[in-house]
Structure 1
Amino acid sequence: MMGRTHALSGALAWLAAVPVLAQDRLLHDYAVHLSAEQVLAGSVVCAGAAILPDIDHHNGRIANTFGPITHHMCKWIGKLSGGHRHATHSILFAGAMGWAMDALATHYVYAWWACLFMIVGLGLRGVGLDFEGREPQSALADCALAAIAVWLMHKIDMSFVGFAVTLGCLAHVAGDCLTPRGCPVFWPLPWRIDVPLIPRTDGKVERWVVAPLLSVGIAIMAVRSVLGDVTTRWLTKG
């Protein structure tokens, strides 16, 4: 699937998970009640993380996010991971990225901000906030917007970030499994899983069915999350 669809799927996956994370009867002491600010920050992180598995693609939109830096990074990661849709498109990669981001956010906050900068930049490029055919301008715009986003989020409690990153990566893998090529979900085992409900990447089904449905789902879940947070705050004050 295309970057835009992946980013939308990550945002929707996060918004759908938020009500589940708040279930005290289900999760007991592990339940997490997030503010509207945390929900929004988690959506941004999860949308960006839903692009991360494509960091193995040497010539995709992600590779051009921050110019030569991301281009060379994607090129070498692609070689080390076995090429596009190999190691980075797996449960192991998703879990490893979530663990790594959680460790950085907990113990190495400046390193985490640097990674957050990249994750947000990937998400912005994924949803199409760039200047088509103008890579220098797009890279500069991504840098500026990502820096603003990091500044706005740097004081928010991001203890949920490991889960958000893992969930975003898994949303990407699940989406690519719906295309004919599939993914090696259980890498390093060689088996690829594919349920080709989307016959062609960037085809009519993805553009006119999948992407609009994801957008509507995000709008519904976002309104629900915000209303729930406002209601909770009102009841607490009362």
Structure 2
Amino acid sequence: MMARTHIAFAALMMVACSVGILQRMPQVHEVALAGAAGLLPDLDHPKSTFGRIVPYISIPIAKIFGHRGFTHSLLMVAVIIWLLLTYREEQKIPILPLVIGYLSHIIGDLLTPSGVPLLWPVRKKFSLNLFKADGWMEHLIYRGCWMGVGYFVWVALQRPGHELLHPAQVAIQQWLWQALSHSMIILVQWVRIMA
């Protein structure tokens, strides 16, 4: 996945977890933090967004572990959770957005052909191979993630403007049903002609 898609996916995961599981709207800083954490696993790539910011961290990690190595594993997620819980009281670190953002990156890369070594130090990479990075499907996912964030915000705000949108929604549904019915009639006629 590309950096912007990782940010969008992490933001969607943060909003979805907050609204869907915690039953609350996330704070803006939580969504932003999750989006930033969605880029952290790529610290193992010196040309990544964070890699260019902190090359003195990124270059050694890349030399030792390579790209999509240790930083893309469940072991690293466990290390991050342990570190955050250990230092939480002293620093008042918001754990949930960081973990959700980090984990969303690993899930996102799991969907691409390159995959991720979930069980590192075992080098086997797991991949669902659903789409190529920076392909048309990823561009669609990127837009879908931001639409999803908008939807969850709309639901969390108790669907403002729903009364105004309802007539348009009904009209669109009726039009779609009519179009579907018409298409079925044409399909049946076409099958009869071909038979």
TM-score (ref. length: structure 2): 0.73
Match of 1:194 in 2: 127
Match of 1:40 in 2: 28
Write the mapping of 1:177-192 to structure 2, written as runs, cut at 5 A: 177-192=110-125
- Compute the displacement of 1:227 (Å): 4.0
Higher RCO (Cα < 8 Å, 6 or more apart): 1
Write the mapping of 1:6-21 to structure 2, written as runs, cut at 5 A: 6-21=6-21
Write the mapping of 1:1-238 to structure 2, written as runs, cut at 5 A: 1-22=1-22, 34=24, 36=25, 38-65=26-53, 70-80=54-64, 82-108=65-91, 161-199=94-132, 201-207=133-139, 209-227=140-158
- Give the total of aligned pairs: 159
Residues 20 and 99 from structure 1, CA distance in 2 versus in 1: closer, same or farther, beyond 3 angstroms? farther
Report if aligned partners of 2:77, 2:99 keep a CA contact under 8 Å in 1: yes
Alpha-carbon separation, structure 1, partners of 2:157 and 2:88 = 25
Q: Which residue identity lines up with residue 206 of structure 1 in the other structure?
A: E
Alpha-carbon separation, structure 1, partners of 2:75 and 2:103 = 10
Q: Which residue identity lines up with residue 104 of structure 2 in the other structure?
A: A
Report if aligned partners of 1:46, 1:164 keep a CA contact under 8 Å in 2: yes
Indicate the SS of the match to 2:86.
helix
Q: Point out the structure with max Rg over C-alpha.
A: 2
Residues 94 and 225 from structure 1, CA distance in 2 versus in 1: closer, same or farther, beyond 3 angstroms? farther
Alpha-carbon separation, structure 2, partners of 1:46 and 1:95 = 17
- Compute the displacement of 1:188 (Å): 1.7
Q: Deviations over 1:58-103 (max 9, x none)?
A: 12232223xxxx02211112223x1000100011212322332343
Report if aligned partners of 2:39, 2:49 keep a CA contact under 8 Å in 1: no
Report if aligned partners of 1:99, 1:162 keep a CA contact under 8 Å in 2: no
Indicate the SS of the match to 2:71.
coil
Residues 4 and 56 from structure 1, CA distance in 2 versus in 1: closer, same or farther, beyond 3 angstroms? same
The answer for unaligned runs of 5 or more in structure 2 is 160-195
Indicate the SS of the match to 1:164.
helix
Alpha-carbon separation, structure 2, partners of 1:196 and 1:203 = 13
Alpha-carbon separation, structure 2, partners of 1:165 and 1:92 = 15
TM-score (ref. length: structure 1): 0.61
Residues 227 and 103 from structure 1, CA distance in 2 versus in 1: closer, same or farther, beyond 3 angstroms? farther
RMSD (Å), alpha carbons: 2.0
Indicate the SS of the match to 1:19.
helix
Q: Deviations over 1:12-69 (max 9, x none)?
A: 00111113443xxxxxxxxxx65x5x5322211111111110010012232223xxxx
Q: Which residue identity lines up with residue 130 of structure 2 in the other structure?
A: L
The answer for unaligned runs of 5 or more in structure 1 is 23-32, 113-160, 229-238
Identity value in percent: 26
Q: Which residue identity lines up with residue 8 of structure 1 in the other structure?
A: A
Q: Which residue identity lines up with residue 154 of structure 2 in the other structure?
A: V
- Compute the displacement of 1:5 (Å): 0.4
